[in-house]
A and B are shown apart, each in its own frame.
Chain A
Amino acid sequence: MDSTKLSEYKFTDGLRDGIPIGLGYLSVSFSFGIAAAGKGVSIFSALLISMTNLTSAGQLAGLGIIAAGGTLIEMILTQLVINMRYALMSISLSQKLDSSFTVGQRLGTSFGMTDEIFAVAAGKKGDIGVKYMYGLILIPFLCWSLGTFLGAAAGEILPDMLKSALGIAIYGMFLAIFIPPARKSVGVFSVVAFSAAMSCCFKYISIFSGISSGFSIIICALTASVLGALIFPKKEDEDDA
């Protein structure tokens, strides 16, 4: 076991890895800010939502509930379903923390568990430490807040074409995370391919159209990773891939 080993990743490594996430977040949160303003939510409220939630799908759904004057129960259930994938990610990432992580630091860093931050942290080789996590979270958090503020305050600042092109940044980053390991491991390749194929089924087959995208991700990810564990179990010495 390597649980006594401390991670070698520094705060600045986290900052650097957070830059592409932050760039992607700028455009997404910018459009959230515009949407919030469009629904009559004040700049301050929009900023408060972004700074306390740090999640795209959940915030957009929450905004809809606020605008429609929905109940708090509806808010709770919606957030639970859309954000349940974070529980899965938290369990997964908890296995990669080095031994220096305290409970207080877990309380602090778990706030920043977004799809992208999780994906980058999970993609690092070996264990990760708290400094790396704080570095990784900082720039995306600031960009998420800034983008929301700008979107809500100033509306259309970026030309449409630039906003559109920035929308693909996050996905490009995802590809950079999973393509290299998928090339090396037939297990990873199969899991990604199966999960992606299933995700297409949810998107394009009409009987699944009632399933929210957050819930769809949970189903695809659970099914694909269970199948992966059954069909392509790793040898123990490959743990820190």
Chain B
Amino acid sequence: MLDSKMLLYILVMALVTYLIRMIPFVLCRKKIQSKFLRNMLYYVPYAVLGAMTIPAILYSTSSMISAVVGLGLALFFAFRNKSLIVVAAAACAGAFVTELIMSLAI
């Protein structure tokens, strides 16, 4: 159903999303001088990640039990400064094996 109405929806959606990303990225050309703002912007990514990860990680798999196991493994490896892919793989493997065990137990 790629009629003109669908194209218009997609165009508007894409344009709004792009402008939100692009305008600040292009306009902020200089290093910000304000110490407060620099400090704040330094913390923004960590704050965003904290809010996005918790509690959402608990609902990222089909059961909270497998999510908790995955979370535990991810924490274990993250605390040991392992790379992104190792931590992510450990979380997936933990969740997968847990769900496998749960499906066999039932």
Report A's interface with B, CB cutoff 8 A: 1, 3, 17, 19-20, 23-24, 40-42, 44-45, 48-49, 52-55, 58-59, 62, 65-66, 72, 75-76, 79-80, 83-95, 103, 106-107, 109-111, 113, 115, 118-120, 122-123, 160-162, 164-183, 187-188, 191-196, 198-200, 203-204, 213, 216-217, 220-226, 228-230, 232-234, 236, 239, 241
> Which residue from A72, A83, A188 sits with its C-beta under 8 Å from B17?
A83
Q: A48-B10, A196-B53 are in contact. Are A179 and B75 (CB under 8 A)?
A: yes
10 new A-B pairs (CB below 8 Å) besides A86-B21, A92-B41?
Answer: A76-B16, A80-B20, A85-B48, A93-B25, A115-B52, A172-B70, A172-B74, A176-B86, A191-B50, A192-B50
In the assembled complex, which residues on chain B have CB atoms less than 8 Å from the CB atom of A90?
20-25, 28
> Which residue from B84, B89, B95 sits with its C-beta under 8 Å from A120?
B84
Q: How far is the CA of A88 from the CA of B79 in the complex (A)?
A: 28
Is there contact, CB below 8 Å, between A168 and B55? no
In the assembled complex, which residues on chain A have CB atoms less than 8 Å from the CB atom of B6?
41, 45, 66
In the assembled complex, which residues on chain A have CB atoms less than 8 Å from the CB atom of B1?
40-42, 45
**Distance (whole angstroms) from the CB of B26 to the closest CB of chain A:** 5
**Distance (whole angstroms) from the CB of A140 to the closest CB of chain B:** 12
25 cross-chain CB contacts under 8 A: A20-B85, A23-B88, A45-B10, A62-B9, A75-B12, A75-B13, A79-B13, A83-B20, A87-B20, A87-B23, A122-B45, A166-B92, A168-B66, A169-B88, A172-B78, A172-B91, A175-B74, A175-B91, A180-B78, A188-B46, A191-B46, A192-B46, A195-B46, A196-B53, A229-B43
Q: How far is the CA of A95 from the CA of B82 in the complex (A)?
A: 26
Is there contact, CB below 8 Å, between A229 and B61? no
Most chain A CB neighbours (cut-off 10 Å) among B17, B18, B35, B90: B17
In the assembled complex, which residues on chain A have CB atoms less than 8 Å from the CB atom of B48?
85, 88-89, 115, 118-119, 195, 217, 221
Q: A49-B13, A91-B28, A195-B50 are in contact. Are A168 and B20 (CB under 8 A)?
A: no
Is there contact, CB below 8 Å, between A89 and B10? no
Is there contact, CB below 8 Å, between B49 and A87? no
**Distance (whole angstroms) from the CB of B60 to the closest CB of chain A:** 4
Is there contact, CB below 8 Å, between A171 and B83? no
Compute the total of residue contacts between A and B using a CB distance below 8 Å: 312
Is there contact, CB below 8 Å, between A176 and B77? yes
Residues of B in contact with A, size category: 35 or more
**Distance (whole angstroms) from the CB of B51 to the closest CB of chain A:** 4
In the assembled complex, which residues on chain B have CB atoms less than 8 Å from the CB atom of A216?
51
**Distance (whole angstroms) from the CB of A175 to the closest CB of chain B:** 5
In the assembled complex, which residues on chain B have CB atoms less than 8 Å from the CB atom of A225?
40-41, 43-44, 46-47
Q: How far is the CA of A65 from the CA of B47 in the complex (A)?
A: 30
In the assembled complex, which residues on chain A have CB atoms less than 8 Å from the CB atom of B89?
20, 169, 172
**Distance (whole angstroms) from the CB of B42 to the closest CB of chain A:** 6
> Which residue from A52, A66, A164, A181 sits with its C-beta under 8 Å from B66?
A164
Q: How far is the CA of A95 from the CA of B37 in the complex (A)?
A: 11
In the assembled complex, which residues on chain A have CB atoms less than 8 Å from the CB atom of B57?
168, 171, 174-175
**Distance (whole angstroms) from the CB of B48 to the closest CB of chain A:** 5
In the assembled complex, which residues on chain A have CB atoms less than 8 Å from the CB atom of B36?
229-230, 233
Q: How far is the CA of A230 from the CA of B29 in the complex (A)?
A: 25
